[in-house]
Amino acid sequence: MRCTRPRRVAHGRSSPGPRLTPGRLVPRVVAVRLLVTVFCLALAACTAQRPDRAAGTSPDPQCAAGKLTGAGATFQQNLQARWISDFTIRCHDAHVTYESIGSGAGIQRFIDGSVDFAGSDAILTGQEQQAANKRCTPPDGAGSAPTGQALHIPAVGGALVFIYNLPGVYSLRLSPATAAGIFQGGITTWNDPRIAADNPGGALPALPVRPVHREDSSGSTDVFSRYLSAAAGASWRLGIGKELPWPGGSAAATGSAAVTASVIHNPGSITYVELSFAAEQGLPTAALRTTSGTYVTANGTSVAAALSAAGAAAGQSDRGDLRLPIDYTPDDPLAYPASAVTYTIVCARGNGNAELLRSYLAYTLAQGQLSTRTIGYAPLPDPAVSVARRLVASLG
């Protein structure tokens, strides 16, 4: 039986009908009650013919049912929480989880096959790529599926910022060489002449500098080290990577939330985190010096300016996936130099629930990009989004 709504009767304006008198009220009430009864019966019939949600269907054709698990970068933590909440409200037969354990641990879980996707601010190393490709290789007899490949799909843009706890100091500027000196232990007090040179006229306390770094294998550390290696040059001596040979005396904590809390509770502290953690706690962030000599703070506009060149390079990779090159010494005086792109790492083929994976990632690259600015991230450049969407649509 086809279910239709009760039709409304149109009344012409030229014939308003006879005026009701008290004696004619009862028939009209009976007619209204009859109409309501018919409508309720029709509504019940429509409800009875709805697909059973428990059977795994969804009212939205862009949704898919099932379970999807992810783990990795704490850089993505706040945005993944927003995306998952919004997506599962819309697609209520989907169950998506994301555990913020750091890029390194997330990559390892992906390689082990214990999660469907990993979040990472760092590109896979050669060894990690080999292991991830092996995980993504279909078993023997899987038809004509090609050799497995793990793909990098950009998730969102963001900014690595330096948050600090200096009583009475609400504006701080740092050159790359000064930041390198702070985190390598060469600058030990906040009124050091090198910090003062970046902040002329500013009142800096004679507090000890207490740098805090990530103890876990961290994509934020990778971005931090790549920025200082490029921008500070020979002044930076700790190398590049998700883990660094930190000097003795430097405080450490696991995860972005933990290093943020350490700064909040310890005057004189400074650390590096994704911008959303600073925004969430209302913490000040340092303005970073660019190659043109300007000092730029992180916001949606300055991050978008930094990522524009990376967007223009979208689709030029010969690896079949999308890795966006970041220029940590941009020529644009309004571009934030420590900007970054964080990635979703997935299998090109052989995904456990490919339909739900495509559905969720398609959401993050469409409606999901609209929510980025409100919580401290930046949407991907349009060219990158277009290529990323094609990659997502091809996942199997």
Q: Is the pLDDT of residue 230 over 70?
A: yes
Residues 6+ apart with CB under 8 A from 318: none
pLDDT of residue 32: 35
Give pLDDT, residue 62. Answer: 82
pLDDT at 320: 72
* Model pLDDT, residue 371: 87
Q: pLDDT at position 35, please?
A: 38
Quick one: average pLDDT of 119-132? 96
Nearest 5°: phi and psi at 249? 90, -10
pLDDT given for residue 44 in this prediction: 39
Identify the band that residue 316 occupies on the pLDDT scale cut at 50, 70 and 90: low
DSSP label of 3: -
- Minimum mean pLDDT among 78-92, 98-112, 143-157: which range? 143-157
Compute the distance between CA of residue 120 and CA of residue 75 in angstroms, rounded to an integer: 8
Average pLDDT of span 208-221: 97
Q: What's residue 22's pLDDT?
A: 37
Label residue 396 by pLDDT band (50, 70, 90). Answer: very high
What pLDDT shows up at residue 291?
95
Supply the pLDDT for residue 140: 63
**How much is the pLDDT for 248?**
87
Residues 6+ apart with CB under 8 A from 207: 166, 189, 190, 267, 268
Q: What whole-number distance in Å separates Cα of residue 344 and Cα of residue 349?
A: 15
Report how far residue 330's alpha carbon sits from residue 349's, in angstroms, rounded to the nearest whole number.
Answer: 37
Coil, strand or helix at 162: strand
Looking at 102-148, which runs of residues are DSSP E strands? 117-120
Break the chain down into helix, strand, coil percent, rounded to 5: 40, 15, 45
Contact 339, 303 (CB under 8 A): yes
Other C-beta atoms lying within 10 Å of the C-beta of residue 388: 27
In the numeric block, the tokens 């038809």 are attached to 143
Q: What is the pLDDT of residue 365?
A: 97
Rounded to whole angstroms, the Cα distance separating 311 from 326 reads: 10
Q: Could you tell me which residues come within 8 angstroms of residue 368 by beta carbon, excluding any fewer than 6 positions away?
A: 83, 86, 87
Instruction: Give tens-digit pLDDT for 12-51.
Output: 333 344 333 333 333 443 333 433 333 333 333 333 333 3
């890029």: which residue's tokens? 103
Q: Which of 334, 321, 355, 318 is nearest to 93 (CA)?
A: 355
C-beta neighbour count of 54 within 10 angstroms: 8
Q: What confidence tier does 146 reach under pLDDT thresholds 50, 70, 90?
A: low
Residue where the block lists tokens 């060469």? 186
List of residues 6+ apart from 280 with CB closer than 8 A:
78, 375, 376
Query: pLDDT tens digit string along 159-171?
Result: 999 999 999 999 9
Q: Which of 126, 113, 110, 120 is nearest to 152 (CA)?
A: 120
Select from 143, 144, 141, 125 the least CA-distant residue to 133. Answer: 125
- Count of other CB atoms within 10 angstroms of residue 81: 14
Backbone angles phi, psi at 70, to 5 degrees: -140, 160
Q: What is the pLDDT of residue 56?
A: 38
